Amino acid sequence: MPTAQKIANFIANEWRSSSADQYVDVANPATAEILGKTPLSPPQEVDQAAQAASQAFPEWRRTPATERVQYLFKLKNLLEEHFEELARTITIECGKTLDEAKGEMRRAIENVETACGIPLMVLGSFSEDIAPGIDEMMIRQPLGVAAVIAPFNFPGMIPFWFMPYALACGNTYIVKPSERVPLTMQKIFALIAQTGLPRGVANLVNGARDTVDAILDHPAIRAVSMVGSTPVARYIYARSAANGKRAQCQGGAKNLIVVMPDADMDMTTRVVADSAFGSAGQRCLATSLAVTVGEARQAFSEAICDAAQRRVVGYGLEPGVEMGPVISPQSKARIEAMIASGAQEGASVLVDGRGARVPGYEQGNFVRPTVLGDVPLGGEVFKTEIFGPVLGLIHVEHLDEALKLVNSQEYGNMSCIFTSSGQAARRFRYEADAGNIGVNIGVAAPMAFFPFSGWKQSFFGVPHGQGMDAVQFFTQEKVVIERWPKEWTRKF
Ligand code: NAD
């Protein structure tokens, strides 16, 4: 068995061992092999990172944006060179299949590429002669030190929704990965070190709750981006705001999709199966409930149960595997308990993924795809985020009722409609209360030049991550008014 990897912090361009007295085991979710131990870094180490980032800020800010992005071009090339290895690391620590991990790294790189356009994106505005001889302008300036607190399910991609934009805009940065999946960022920071980025511009601190609190309370950290579950997102947003920081916190989800009777059933089934069971359902854009309308019921229910049963479950590094394990034994137990409580509250267990065993991987946290029929409205399965490969079915007679169900959820991350009717699709796009909408397609993470939206209890803040929203978040606007009387300028 390979020896567990040492997990260190990267502060002021040095790898530093943490002085933590507590560690969290990092285990491969398919094999239970211990891969490393995440140090729960104490507040002094957050302080060291914040100080290094503060010291780096004045010089980094003064570096022209065109020069700053040269480091991102280098990083993009290094990420491409190490693409396969990074994707494998994601599979090994997080459980998703290698293809899914490659998709994740591709989107991470696309964010680096988009941020390379910062010199254009960060342009201000200028208005001459708002009154005779008086000009007014708006300049975008960086904030200072910013930080991201990331979840377990996309160890490679999520910090890239924020970090490349923050750096390109002239901020300095701290990444706090999920304590459950710290290995991918160890590799990525080794590549960041190779870009020659000046000392202290990008820093990495590992840890969990107390490390996060130290970030939220640190006076030098001006802005916090966070992605994770809704209760934690709400907490981080409130504590950041109480400390006068900018915050954007992306929370959990409970995503409904609607299948109309005129949908192309083969395509819909394929897409919904990928959306519900891809990454073992551990995606904030995963389909959680499918609402069939009118005659769609029987055909869709039969087809999706068949797709669920046929999905190939196993170790994500093995060829042909379509779905990996969930992150931890606790997660597996929680998901299986949710399936049981669904059955107790009256749902029918059409495909039961509990008690899954994958030969050769008996220690893995596998839950097979599960389909629950006739999910009772307002019950646990209807309203609670399961974050596992469990799809609930609900039947209604009209699109009106389906839209009501979509909009009754406290979350608002994603919703989709499958139909060949332009009228139904247009109405759905217009009326569904969710930040990401799909029409005949499951929603994947939006392209890097669009914001990663989210509404209601799925997002706390104003500008989102990625693209121009990130530029807005990582810059502050300065409005300058100047008077240059005619008599003065005529002298020259
Ligand atoms: P989590 O909320 O448990 O952890 C997220 C981060 O917060 C981690 O870095 C963790 O160390 C930290 N944290 C956890 N508890 C904390 C506490 N009490 N105080 C301070 N910090 C704390 O989330 P997770 O289980 O890692 O990720 C899964 C969740 O993330 C799901 O709910 C999923 O929907 C959500 N998610 C949302 C999006 C989105 O874009 N909206 C994307 C991915 C994941």
DSSP 238-301: HHHHHTT-EEEEE----EEEEE-TTS-HHHHHHHHHHHHHGGGG-STT-EEEEEEETTHHHHHH
Q: Please give the structure tokens belonging to residue 10.
A: 């990267």
For residue 235, the CA-to-ligand 1 centroid distance in Å is 11
CA of 162 to the centre of ligand 1 (A): 16
Assess whether the C-beta atom of 469 lies below 6 angstroms from ligand 1.
no
CA-closest residue to ligand 1 atom 23? 228
CATH code of 330's domain:
3.40.309.10
3-class secondary structure, 124: coil
pLDDT in tens, 169-215: 999 999 999 999 999 999 999 999 999 999 999 999 999 999 999 99
Cβ of 413 less than 6 Å from ligand 1: yes
Look at residue 2 in the predicted model and tell me its pLDDT.
47
Task: Evaluate: CB of 229 within 6 angstroms of ligand 1.
Answer: yes
**In this structure, is residue 408 part of a structural domain?**
yes
CATH number of the domain enclosing 110: 3.40.605.10
Please identify, by atom number, the ligand 1 atom nearest to the C-alpha of residue 459. Answer: 41
User: What are the C-alpha distances in Å from 108 to residues 82, 165, 203, 252?
Assistant: 13, 12, 18, 20
The average pLDDT across 136-152 equals 98
Report CA-CA distances (Å) from 213 to 49, 168, 284, 452.
Answer: 14, 26, 24, 25
Query: Is 179 close to ligand 1, i.e. is its CB under 6 Å away?
Result: yes
Segment 55-78, tens digit of pLDDT: 999 999 999 999 999 999 999 999
Q: Do 228 and 329 sit in the same domain of this protein?
A: no
Mean pLDDT of all residues in 93-99? 98
Distance 28 CA to ligand 1 centre (A): 19
246 shares its domain with 281: no
**Top mutation candidate among 26, 284, 338 for ligand 1, by most atoms within 8 Å of CB:** 284
What is the C-alpha separation between 270 and 285, in angstroms, rounded?
16
Strand partners, 384: none
Q: Do strands 172-176 and 287-293 pair parallel, antiparallel, or not at all (unpaired)?
A: unpaired
pLDDT at 492 over 80: no
Question: 405: which 2 tokens?
Answer: 């169900």
Mean pLDDT of 464-491: 94
User: Is the same domain home to 294 and 393?
Assistant: yes
Mean pLDDT of the chain: 97
294 pLDDT higher than 70: yes
Answer yes or no: is the C-beta of 208 below 6 A from any ligand 1 atom. yes
* Best mutation site among 22, 209, 232 for ligand 1 pocket (most ligand atoms within 8 Å of CB): 232
Sign of CA dihedral 94, 96, 97, 103: negative
Is there a single domain that holds both residue 241 and residue 261?
no
Atom number of ligand 1 nearest to Cα 251: 41
Residues 154 and 197 in one domain: yes
What is the number of the ligand 1 atom nearest to the C-alpha of 179? 11
CA-nearest residue for atom 28, ligand 1, is 228
Question: Would residue 143 count as lying in a domain?
Answer: yes
> Could you tell me where the DSSP H helices lie in 311-409?
329-344, 380-383, 399-408
Nearest CA to ligand 1 atom 1: 228
Domain check: are 11 and 102 in the same one?
yes
Residue to substitute in 7, 161, 178 for testing ligand 1 pocket (most ligand atoms within 8 angstroms of CB):
178
219 Cα: distance to centroid of ligand 1 (angstroms):
23
Q: Are residues 187 and 310 in the same domain?
A: no
* 228 in contact with ligand 1, CB cutoff 6 A: yes
Closest C-alpha residue for ligand 1 atom 20: 209
**In the predicted model, is pLDDT for residue 355 greater than 80?**
yes
Please check whether residues 84 and 57 belong to one and the same domain.
yes
What mean pLDDT is predicted for residues 238-257?
A: 98
Q: Say yes or no: 193 and 50 in one domain.
A: yes
Give the model confidence (pLDDT) of 104-128 as tens digits. 999 999 999 999 999 999 999 999 9
Residue 490 within any structural domain of the chain: no
Ligand 1 in contact with 387 (CB < 6 A)? yes
Q: What is the number of structural domains in the chain?
A: 2
CA of 151 to the centre of ligand 1 (A): 4
Do 284 and 432 lie in a common domain?
Answer: yes
Which token pair is 348?
A: 């029918």
Residue 1's pLDDT is what?
A: 39
What's the DSSP call for residue 42?
-
pLDDT tens for residues 6-15?
899 999 999 9
> Among 407, 439, 471, which residue terminates a domain?
439
Residue 385: CB within 6 Å of ligand 1?
yes
Does residue 454's CB lie within 6 angstroms of at least one atom of ligand 1? yes
- Reference 179, options 203, 202, 204; nearest CA is 204
Judge whether 243 lies within some domain. yes
447 part of a folded domain: no
Cα separation, 86 vs 102, whole angstroms: 8
Rounded to whole angstroms, how far apart are CA atoms 12 and 390?
A: 44
Atom of ligand 1 nearest to the CA of 250: 41
- How many angstroms is it from 115 CA to the middle of ligand 1? 25
Residue 179 falls inside a structural domain:
yes
Task: Work out the pLDDT band at 489, boundaries 50, 70, 90.
Answer: confident
Cβ(152) – ligand 1 distance below 6 Å: yes
Same domain, 266 and 204: no
291 with 412, same domain: the answer is yes
Look at 317 and 486; give whichever has higher pLDDT.
317
Distance CA 28, CA 33 (A): 5
Q: Which of the residues are catalytic?
A: 284
**What pTM was computed for the model?**
0.97
Q: Which domain holds residue 392?
A: 255-439
Residue 452 within a domain: no
Which of 153, 157, 275, 330, when mutated, tests ligand 1's pocket best, judged by the most ligand atoms within 8 Å of its CB? 153
**Does residue 449 lie in a domain region?**
no
> Which long-range contacts (C-beta less than 8 Å, at least 24 apart) are formed by 336-345?
336/367, 338/380, 338/381, 338/384, 338/386, 338/388, 338/390, 339/370, 339/372, 339/390, 341/380, 341/381, 342/372, 342/375, 342/379, 342/380, 342/381, 342/390, 342/392, 343/372, 345/376, 345/379, 345/380, 345/381
Task: Residue 320: count other Cβ atoms within 10 Å of its Cβ.
Answer: 7
Nearest-atom index, ligand 1, CA of 149: 9
- Cα 457 to ligand 1 centroid, rounded to whole Å: 13
Answer whether residue 3 shows pLDDT above 70: no
Nearest CA owner, ligand 1 atom 22: 209
> What atom of ligand 1 comes closest to residue 413's alpha carbon?
41
Q: Average the pLDDT over 8-27 and give the result.
A: 98
Spatial separation of the C-alpha atoms in residues 87 and 171, rounded to whole Å: 28
| Concatenated DSSP letters of 54-67 | HHHHHHHHHS-HHH
Ligand 1 atom with the smallest distance to the CA of 454 is: 41
